[in-house]
Amino acid sequence: MKLVDSPKGTIRIAFDKKDLSKIVDPIIKNAEQFSSVPLDMVYLLGEQDYRIDDHFQQPKGVFD
């Protein structure tokens, strides 16, 4: 995880793929201890982690 140069008044954080599950899993397992703001961020990070691994391609000729 690292801070990325961003416009004034905003924060941008870059995450490595290998770090996403280290952040997401413990927070989701203890969700009752967190407010909605960190949970929203963690769910978005979890979705991005899933999308990185999702390499589905429609088989050729399916709609021919």
| pTM for this prediction | 0.65
Sign of CA dihedral 32, 38, 39, 42: negative
Q: Rg (Cα) of the chain, in Å, rounded?
A: 16
Q: What is the pLDDT of residue 42?
A: 92
In Å, how far are 38, 58, 59 from 62, measured between CA atoms? 41, 8, 6
Query: What does the mean pLDDT of the chain come to?
Result: 86
2-33 pLDDT, tens digit each:
888 778 888 888 888 888 888 899 999 999 99
Q: What is the pLDDT of residue 48?
A: 87
Q: Which residues pair with 14 in a beta bridge?
A: 2
Q: What is the pLDDT of residue 15?
A: 86
Name which residue leads in pLDDT, 19 or 64: 19
In Å, how far are 2, 15, 36, 64 from 29, measured between CA atoms? 24, 20, 14, 45
